Amino acid sequence: MLIAYLEDDMDQARTVTGWFDEFGFEYEHFSHAQALLKRLKDRNFDAAVLDWELPDMPGTEALRQIREKFHQELPVLFCSMRDSEEDVVTALELGADDYMRKPLLKIELKARLGALLRRIQGPQQGDGRVIEHGPYRFDLKSREAYCDGAMVDMTDKDFELATCLFDNIGRIMSRGFLLDAVWGVSTDLNTRTVDVHISRIRKALGITPASGYRIKTIYQHGYRLERIDQG
């Protein structure tokens, strides 16, 4: 795994890159966002770990530019001392795949990066199945989603979450289950991650009663994708 690591605190960077060495991960460290954005023009990374507070621009702006100008599919783990719900949601809505609060914990960081690695090398990429329900079609080999024959632009995590839902129509799935299935994290931390991605999936795929499907929120538990009788 080759990681782009954006962090301007050198003590923190030395600690985390030391962990990367222990994990057996390759990495490039950047203390300025512009340096990372420039590097993305000529090198492909497997994942990025981004800090929020940076000397030249906020990490959120770096994330926005990564998504808009470079790699829509690049898995991004966002790290910050900010822990308000609004900050977490902001990072996720800008396209972060996961969010960790500082101070970082070695074992948790390894688990979350391992989850990103499993996404890169996971079975869905080699799965030749096609999931079709109503107007929706998901090609698991090409990782392409369609609604009424038109391709839908989705991030990898949104695609994986959507296929998990459409593979389990009618089944109640807890946030913890979805975190484990999609992110590979068996924990109750950051369950808002699921809520934000569910909202994005509803919007991207147009999942409304008119489509014949709905994602029902199950109070204090999770979600269930349901067919709606149009008759």
Residue ranges and CATH numbers for the domains of the chain are 2-121 (3.40.50.2300), 123-227 (1.10.10.10)
Q: Kindly report the CA angle at 30 between 28 and 33, in degrees rounded to 5?
A: 130
pLDDT at position 23: 87
pLDDT at position 123: 44
pLDDT at position 125: 45
User: In terms of Cα–Cα distance, which of 61, 54, 65, 59 is closest to 77?
Assistant: 59
**Residue 123 belongs to what H/E stretch?**
helix 123-126
pLDDT at position 230: 62
pLDDT at position 173: 80
Sign of CA dihedral 96, 100, 102, 104: negative
pLDDT at position 126: 47
Contacts of 166 (CB under 8 A, 6+ apart): 131, 133, 136, 138, 225
pLDDT at position 202: 96
What does the pLDDT profile of the chain (231 residues) look like in tens digits?
789 999 999 999 999 999 999 988 889 999 999 999 999 988 878 789 999 999 999 999 999 999 888 766 688 999 999 878 888 888 888 888 888 999 999 998 988 887 776 655 444 444 668 999 999 999 998 899 999 999 999 998 899 999 999 988 887 787 877 887 787 655 544 668 889 999 999 999 999 999 999 999 987 778 999 999 765
| The one-letter amino acid at 24 | G
Q: Please identify which residue in the block is written with the tokens 């910050």.
A: 80
Q: Please identify which residue in the block is written with the tokens 């600690």.
A: 15
pTM of the model: 0.59
pLDDT at position 68: 86
pLDDT at position 98: 86
User: In terms of Cα–Cα distance, which of 1, 13, 89 is closest to 50?
Assistant: 13
* 20, 3 Cβ separation under 8 angstroms: yes
pLDDT at position 104: 94
Please, is 79 exposed, middle or buried when counting C-beta atoms within 10 Å of its C-beta (0-12, 13-18, 19+)? buried
Contacts of 168 (CB under 8 A, 6+ apart): 225
